[in-house]
């Protein structure tokens, strides 16, 4: 719940900063070694989203696999979370390249008047949505 509350605090601050009426979709990327369980985050989100800007928000979770780089041969490859071995030489001296992150990847802001964003969409009420 603490992770979810912090995530939503960032989303709400961004919505307020840009003068949004609300938030549509929130996309997060969760690595397999992040320590965050996607199912638990999703359950916490349904409770924590109540409040300003995020009452109707939807959470999209993208999972990120584990990526390692071998110190011995320099090979970079995907690995299982419980088997961090180089696929080329079998070495166990590896550095984690990816898979431990929790990223707020995308926020869909709704009802922003005349904002400058990279992508916009107009809904049925004539309001602009920005991502």
* Mean pLDDT computed over 14-30: 94
pTM listed for this prediction: 0.78
On whether residue 29 sits in a domain, the answer given is yes
In the chain, how long is the greatest CA-to-CA distance? 59
Q: Is the pLDDT of residue 127 over 60?
A: no
- The percent of residues above 90 in pLDDT, for the chain, comes to 81
On whether residue 17 sits in a domain, the answer given is yes
Ramachandran region, residue 8 (left: φ > 0; alpha: ψ -120 to 50; beta: rest): alpha
On whether residue 51 sits in a domain, the answer given is yes
Report DSSP state, residue 17.
H
Give the number of domains in the chain: 1
Query: If you count them, how many residues does the chain have?
Result: 131
Residue/partner pairs of 71-77 with CB below 8 Å, 24 or more apart: 71/95
Q: 40-83 pLDDT, tens per residue?
A: 999 999 999 998 999 999 999 999 999 999 999 999 999 998 99
Q: Regarding predicted confidence, which is higher, 113 or 5?
A: 5
Q: 85-111 pLDDT, tens per residue?
A: 999 999 999 999 999 999 999 999 998
List the CATH number of the domain containing 54: 3.30.2320.50
Q: With contact defined as beta carbons under 8 Å apart, do 124 and 37 qualify?
A: no
Token look-up 């309001």 returns 127
On whether residue 11 sits in a domain, the answer given is yes
> How far, in Å, CA of 85 to CA of 70, rounded?
8
On whether residue 79 sits in a domain, the answer given is no
On whether residue 22 sits in a domain, the answer given is yes
Q: 78-90 pLDDT, tens per residue?
A: 999 899 999 999 9
| Domain assignment of residue 17, given as a range | 2-66+98-130
Report DSSP state, residue 16.
H
Token pair in block for residue 6:
């912090």
């Amino acid at each position: 719940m603490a992770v979810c509350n912090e995530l939503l605090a960032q989303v709400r601050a961004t919505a307020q900063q840009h003068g949004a009426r609300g938030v549509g979709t929130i996309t997060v990327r969760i690595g397999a070694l992040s320590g965050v369980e996607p199912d638990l985050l999703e359950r916490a989100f349904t409770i924590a989203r109540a409040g300003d800007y995020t009452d109707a928000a939807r959470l999209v979770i993208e999972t990120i696999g584990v990526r390692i780089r071998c110190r011995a041969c320099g090979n970079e490859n995907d690995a299982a979370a419980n088997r961090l071995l180089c696929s080329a030489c079998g070495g166990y001296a590896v550095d984690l390249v990816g898979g431990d992150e929790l990223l707020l990847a995308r926020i869909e802001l709704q009802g922003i008047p005349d904002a400058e964003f990279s992508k916009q969409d107009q809904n049925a009420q004539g309001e602009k949505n920005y991502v």
